[in-house]
């Protein structure tokens, strides 16, 4: 009996993933991708870095 171990390299991880039976692989993602909301800076966020230039 072999003991399952965590892969230690990217190559080992890829090899492990290649062993996943195709019957377990879905054709479509379980959660459909969603568009990211636009990034905005509010006053509270701006206040956190307002004096940042003084440190440079």
Please state, in angstroms and rounded to a whole number, the distance separating the CA atoms of residues 24 and 21: 6
Q: What is the pTM of this model?
A: 0.37
Judge contact between 41 and 49, C-beta under 8 A.
no
% pLDDT > 70, the chain: 88
pLDDT at 8: 92
User: pLDDT 10s per residue in the chain (56 long)?
Assistant: 567 788 999 999 999 988 888 888 777 766 777 888 888 889 998 888 888 776 66
% pLDDT > 90, the chain: 18
Can you tell me whether residue 40 is helix, strand or coil? coil
> Which residues contact residue 16 at a Cβ distance below 8 angstroms, ignoring those fewer than 6 apart?
7
């Amino acid at each position: 009996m072999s003991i399952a171990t965590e892969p230690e390299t990217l190559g080992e991880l890829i090899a492990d993933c290649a062993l996943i039976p195709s019957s377990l692989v879905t054709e479509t993602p379980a959660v459909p991708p969603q568009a990211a909301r636009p990034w905005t800076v509010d006053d509270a966020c701006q206040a956190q870095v307002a004096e940042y230039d003084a440190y440079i």
